[in-house]
Structure 1
Amino acid sequence: MGMSVTIHAATSQDAEQILKLQYLCYQSEAELYGDYSIEPLTQTLDGLRAELADGYALVARLGDEVVASVRGKADGGGTALIGKLIVHPRMQRHGLGGRLLDAIEGHFAAEPAAKRFQLFTGHRSEHNLRLYRSHGYVQVSAKEAGPALTIVTLEKETETGAYATSA
């Protein structure tokens, strides 16, 4: 019987494994858009550590190996900004990305200030778009970021936010 994947809050000790995984996972995005200078591929270890200290992150582990991660941060205006959802290529298409998305949403939904979740991806990132839409996200904007890239922003209300809006 194999090991199962467990999800935990990330710590600063996870930073190096997260950065290596991020570099691996964003290769396909860079290839898709023909741009290897994207921020996830140029982020430094110190930059990642600062991002972890300033927000909230989760890691999924298979034994001692970090095989997936996601980050988020509440913006103070009622929006939980979710980003850098990454899953090791060998672990993709098994529901792990969805589990992480649910887990980070659960963390921020527990905060009274979070009324909505927001994330973004590139317009050609069909797998990402499918995942986000299947979790209830809807497109709220699209902005050209260059000749080959349009950033698609998606949002969804938290259960609490939806209730408060309809009450």
Structure 2
Amino acid sequence: MGMSVTISAADAQDAEHILKLQYLCYQREAEIYQDWSIEPLTQSLDALRAELDEGQGFVARLGDEIVASVRGRLDEDGTVRIAKLIVHPRLQRHGLGGRLLDAIESHFAEEPAPAAKRFQLFTGHRSEGNLRLYRSKGYAQVSTREVGPRLTLVTLEKAA
């Protein structure tokens, strides 16, 4: 490609680009579960902006293009809830998801008090690539929750 991918904190100007990428990336999940009403496909721009304001987001850029993103938020109990890790389909399986997980974990591990005690995320039970990535990064399954006839959410966690 000739360009390297850079990872940086997301800002307000990135929100629209993140939302468009999110819509593209979650098409595969919707197809797997035959459900196009999943929250990442129906989230509004205002809701995404609120998530960025309440927590921290990171983006990966190839030149000026946002090609991957992740968001996270630290709860009062010390749990960092990581959400919506997305990588453009043409760049999947090149390590960007892992780099973004490392970036968000580092951000919250280094943040002054209150310190993160654990990292937690979830994915669908049929999302094998997601489960493989999370397990390779040290996450272990802590619970499952059936949310419909086609979808069981798998929650994974690791110590900070």
TM-score normalised according to structure 2 size: 0.97
SS in 1 for 2:134: helix
In 2, Cα distance between equivalents of 1:129 and 1:156: 13
In 2, Cα distance between equivalents of 1:97 and 1:48: 19
1:100 aligns with 100
In 2, Cα distance between equivalents of 1:129 and 1:28: 15
Deviates more, 1:137-146 or 1:106-115: 106-115
From 131, 136, 139, the equivalent of 2:138 is 136
2:123 aligns with 121
Give the drift of 1:77.
0.2
Give the drift of 1:97.
0.4
Unaligned segments of structure 2, at least 5 residues: none
- Aligned residues with identical type, % of pairs: 77
TM-score normalised according to structure 1 size: 0.93
SS in 1 for 2:147: strand
Give the drift of 1:143.
0.6
Superposition pairs of residues 40-55 of structure 1, within 5 angstroms: 40-55=40-55
Superposition pairs of residues 64-103 of structure 1, within 5 angstroms: 64-103=64-103
In 1, Cα distance between equivalents of 2:10 and 2:23: 17
2:146 maps to a residue whose letter is: E
Structure index of larger Rg: 1
SS in 1 for 2:17: helix
2:148 aligns with 146
Runs of 4+ with >3 A deviation: none
SS in 2 for 1:73: strand
Give the drift of 1:35.
0.3
CA RMSD, 1 decimal = 0.8
Instruction: Give the number of equivalent residue pairs.
Output: 158
In 2, Cα distance between equivalents of 1:144 and 1:138: 18
Unaligned segments of structure 1, at least 5 residues: 159-167
SS in 2 for 1:146: coil
2:18 aligns with 18
Give the drift of 1:50.
1.0
1:61 aligns with 61
